[in-house]
Amino acid sequence: MITLSLPSPAKFIPPSSKSRRIRNPDFEALKDTLIRQANGGNLKQAISTLDQISQMGFNPDLTSYTVLLKSCIRTRNFQIGQLLHSKLNDSPIQPDTIVLNSLISLYSKMGSWETAEKIFESMGEKRDLVSWSAMISCYAHCGMELESVFTFYDMVEFGEYPNQFCFSAVIQACCSAELGWVGLAIFGFAIKTGYFESDVCVGCALIDLFAKGFSDLRSAKKVFDRMPERNLVTWTLMITRFSQLGASKDAVRLFLEMVSEGFVPDRFTFSGVLSACAEPGLSALGRQLHGGVIKSRLSADVCVGCSLVDMYAKSTMDGSMDDSRKVFDRMADHNVMSWTAIITGYVQRGHYDMEAIKLYCRMIDGLVKPNHFTFSSLLKACGNLSNPAIGEQIYNHAVKLGLASVNCVANSLISMYAKSGRMEEARKAFELLFEKNLASYNIIVDGCSKSLDSAEAFELFSHIDSEVGVDAFTFASLLSGAASVGAVGKGEQIHSRVLKAGIQSSQSVCNALISMYSRCGFAKHGFAHRAVELFNQMLEDGIKPNEVTYIAVLSACSHVGLVDEGWKYFDSMSIDHGITPRMEHYACMVDLLGRSGSLEKAVQFIKSLPLNVDALVWRTLLGACQVHGNLQLGKYASEMILEQEPNDPAAHEAGCSWMEAENSVHKFYVGDTKHPKAKEIYEKLNKVALKIKEIGYVPNTDLVLHEVEDEQKEQYLFQHSEKIALAFGLISTSKQKPIRIFKNLRVCGDCHNAMKFISVAEGREIIIRDSNRFHHIKDGLCSCNDYW
């Protein structure tokens, strides 16, 4: 038997018609052109070459698609990337692993995790380590950290062995307070497998883990110092994280060190150091660096532009968005991030919520797809709008884009409901939340605190404490809740928990503590002093005060009449800490002077300021005039308010009060007789008036600004909306529960006084939220200690 050693049959198969075509010189030439164009970033031309190939009757091969997709990812040209995807779907070509991986990466960078996931799931056998890594990274970047971690574990279980890219992606997903420990465990795993922190990629992830997950800049710096290879990216990462965690000066120091070592800052480095310059006191350097950006020909860059937009939004002295907007308008190109940066700027500045919504409309008109960050900011803006339909509409957009389940979007929705007083809806959204993180809990605790449901807030607190652990935000919310209802005892309890938890060095907790003692100082004299002591302690401990700190400490000074201290702190605020006073600080000073009776000095102070004060400051003066019965100055203050806000109800006295009862809101205007129970309400009001006069109430007719007889003035006083609302509350609610009234203006002085008497005469607890603050009235005393 002779065995013929023949080549395997496959080799005898004549070249197929397909491969014959590939050798076609026209096709080869076009393919070369296409690759050249794609690699050079001329994607539009490359696409038309691709079309030309098809028109000639050839099928473009996989290589063409691969090269084109790579280029789309590199240049972030998502539109063409999507176009390629649909062309590929229409063609008979079966995409291979590399092309599918590229598509996952493309959709990941676009923020379209749903499409990326679909491709990943359809891959089956074709999945490789890169596909897994791309998917893990996709979830991490789209705000779905848990999904990212689960996918990592799935992969390990599947038998795939992670490499440095994979470790880096999953550790990135763990860079939060909630998942930090998971990150550490995975890092331990990485060490075991031999991927030490010495790998630049894993090293960067580790820096992030310490910085973002544990807010531990010292450890982050240690990793950085130990890295055998430091490049521009690692320097930039350090600068950016230091800046993000508020260590702005260190960020600037690192930047200078980097430059002195010979590294040339690129767009990302500028971006990081510019963000640090948003801090008060560094704005001059910020402007200088803006010059550096222009010199480096980076001013047209979107990335640098984003940081400039952000920097000017946060640091411009007069609180306007003009400089920020100028940078935005001058940018050559806009992407999601630049749109999000300007929208966020407007939202954070406050009072610009409609402008933020308008910008969003322009953004989607321009076919830029919003991401989870965009919706996060937008929903925050919607919480301040009076029209709830806008918020619902925006949320529906998020649902359509598959972003509603992303944690920060869902949390913002809860926050939107809570802020607009819709606590029932907030709770519902919270219950529906699949993945509750610490922020979700904190938002709901804050909402409960602000809606004066401190009992529920505390209940939640103990629940969170045992479930996920509490943080500075939780404490800050509870402290402000305690302060709102004047629950001094609770406030002190939380203070001791703060000390136990060892987070007394957190700026937001310090602010909340000072503010709590300051606000409770009304009820107990010593507390305002404690607020001032805490503030001094804070400075001694080297904790940076911010604008909020000064509002709290200045009002504490005001409450106890520490005029000299008040001046001292007011001056050192800008001199020592570079904080430009805002209207709120001016209002505190006017309050301080007005409260101590120096009304004329308060007016002098206002006139000495380098700018025109707004209605808030004049309203404060008006309040002081009412307390001290200075009619003339009061009228002047009213005129000034009207000049700034012609429709301001305070100056027109178009007061309106409302309260919730029997599941609906009852609204009352001055002298209102429209309510179905009006007759009973006025009967009750008359009875109560007699009752409280017996125990010492004297109507304060000085507060009536109309020129009429005294008896008529008294009648006017008893037509005030808050008194009508209260009478309604007395006849329609259970005696065990406090009566909760809301008023669009400040509560009138006489009504405030009458309510204290009524709380005794009727044995009721009354909580009134006016335009300025909460008044918690019980047993003849108010948490505001008679100053409103």
Partner DNA sequence: CTAGGGTTAG
Contacts with DNA in 282-321 (CB under 7 A)? 302-303, 306-307, 310
Region binding DNA by CB under 7 A among candidate stretches 151-159, 217-225, 229-237, 751-759: 229-237
Per DSSP bridges, beta strands 766-769 and 739-743 are: parallel
Q: Write out the binding residues for DNA, residues 199-218 only, by CB under 7 A.
A: 200-201, 204-205, 208
Other beta carbons within 10 Å of 139: 24
37 makes contact with DNA (CB under 7 A): no
Q: 171: which 2 tokens?
A: 């550790």
In angstroms, give the least distance from the CB of 166 to DNA.
Answer: 6
Number of helices (H), then strands (E), in the chain: 43, 6
Region binding DNA by CB under 7 A among candidate stretches 28-36, 406-414, 580-588, 633-641: 406-414
Q: 158: which 2 tokens?
A: 């599947």
In angstroms, give the least distance from the CB of 651 to DNA.
Answer: 30
In angstroms, give the least distance from the CB of 252 to DNA.
Answer: 15
When the beta carbons of 357 and 408 are compared against DNA, the nearer one is 408
In angstroms, give the least distance from the CB of 585 to DNA.
Answer: 22
In angstroms, give the least distance from the CB of 556 to DNA.
Answer: 23
Measured CA to CA, the distance from residue 385 to residue 391 in angstroms comes to 8
340 makes contact with DNA (CB under 7 A): yes
DSSP 3-state of 739: strand
In angstroms, give the least distance from the CB of 573 to DNA.
Answer: 24
Instruction: Draw the binding track, 46-75, toward DNA (x: CB under 7 A; -: no contact).
Output: -----------------------xx--xx-
In angstroms, give the least distance from the CB of 373 to DNA.
Answer: 4
Instruction: Draw the binding track, 361-390, toward DNA (x: CB under 7 A; -: no contact).
Output: ----------x-xx-xx--x----------
Measured CA to CA, the distance from residue 385 to residue 383 in angstroms comes to 6
When the beta carbons of 276 and 588 are compared against DNA, the nearer one is 276
391 makes contact with DNA (CB under 7 A): no
In angstroms, give the least distance from the CB of 653 to DNA.
Answer: 33
CB contact set of 340 (below 8 Å; sequence gap of 6+): 370, 371, 373, 374, 377
CA 69 to chain centre: 35
Instruction: Draw the binding track, 158-177, toward DNA (x: CB under 7 A; -: no contact).
Output: -----x-xx-xx--x---xx
Size of the residue set binding DNA (CB under 7 A): 78
Per DSSP bridges, beta strands 781-782 and 664-669 are: unpaired
* Nearest one of 344, 346, 362 to 354, comparing CA atoms: 346
Measured CA to CA, the distance from residue 547 to residue 530 in angstroms comes to 19
Q: Write out the binding residues for DNA, residues 657-686 only, by CB under 7 A.
A: none
R_g of the chain, CA atoms, integer Å: 32
Q: Say what angle helices 599-608 and 615-628 make with each other, to 10 degrees.
A: 170
Q: Write out the binding residues for DNA, residues 92-131 only, by CB under 7 A.
A: 97-98, 101-102, 105, 108, 128-131
Instruction: Draw the binding track, 72-91, toward DNA (x: CB under 7 A; -: no contact).
Output: -xx-----------------
When the beta carbons of 135 and 557 are compared against DNA, the nearer one is 135
CA quadruple 103, 109, 114, 118: dihedral, nearest 10: 20
Among 37, 248, 344, 518, binds DNA (CB under 7 A): 344
Q: 41: which 2 tokens?
A: 């970033």
137 makes contact with DNA (CB under 7 A): yes
In angstroms, give the least distance from the CB of 107 to DNA.
Answer: 11
The residue with tokens 């953004």 is: 363
When the beta carbons of 12 and 434 are compared against DNA, the nearer one is 434
Q: 760: which 2 tokens?
A: 């005794």
Q: How many residues in the chain?
A: 788
When the beta carbons of 307 and 558 are compared against DNA, the nearer one is 307
Q: Write out the binding residues for DNA, residues 713-752 only, by CB under 7 A.
A: none
In angstroms, give the least distance from the CB of 24 to DNA.
Answer: 26
407 makes contact with DNA (CB under 7 A): yes
236 makes contact with DNA (CB under 7 A): yes
Measured CA to CA, the distance from residue 562 to residue 556 in angstroms comes to 8
Q: What Å distances lie between residue 239 and 177, 184, 232, 309, 740, CA to CA?
A: 21, 22, 11, 18, 49
Q: 732: which 2 tokens?
A: 């329609």
Q: What Å distances lie between residue 695 and 140, 443, 623, 698, CA to CA?
A: 66, 44, 27, 9
Region binding DNA by CB under 7 A among candidate stretches 54-62, 235-243, 661-669, 709-717: 235-243
CA quadruple 612, 614, 617, 620: dihedral, nearest 10: 140
DSSP 3-state of 304: helix
Q: Write out the binding residues for DNA, residues 412-471 only, by CB under 7 A.
A: 412, 415, 437-439, 442-443, 446, 471
In angstroms, give the least distance from the CB of 442 to DNA.
Answer: 4
In angstroms, give the least distance from the CB of 275 to DNA.
Answer: 5
When the beta carbons of 230 and 524 are compared against DNA, the nearer one is 230
